[in-house]
Amino acid sequence: MRPEYSTEQEISDLQKLIELMEQGGIRYQWARLHLTVSEWWHHKGFEYFWMLVAVVFFAALLVWGNNIGASRMEEAMTCPYDDQVRTSQGVCLNPERYVDDYLDYIGGS
């Protein structure tokens, strides 16, 4: 069953395809592929295009959110000053400047 074409562009595409089919060769194959793709696009491709846009958008949101979370985690794991050290309990201390406090913290004397 042959589909019905309504626009002049589709009719001219079919006429070109018929001419190329009579000539044969690679130009016919490319024209046939072009017609198949354009038919698919007009019937279903537009719907799939918007689905693809939505998937890419939500994937970008997911990546962006993970990057924000990772940067906040990294920020939370770093100490505010370069000469500080984070202990295993997560406390930032400067052992050189505050030796007594550090020794008290680790239980030393």
pLDDT at 32: 75
DSSP assignment string, 3-66: PP--SHHHHHHHHHHHHHHHH-SHHHHHHHHHHHHHHHIIIIIHHHHHHHHHHHHHHHHHHHHH
Apex 64 CA angle, 62 and 66, nearest 5: 70
Cα gap 41→50, rounded to integer Å: 12
pLDDT at 22: 74
pLDDT at 59: 92
Query: What is the full per-residue pLDDT of the chain (109 aa) written as tens digits?
Result: 455 556 777 778 778 777 777 777 777 777 778 878 877 777 776 778 888 899 999 999 888 887 776 676 666 677 777 777 777 777 887 767 667 776 777 776 5
pLDDT at 106: 79
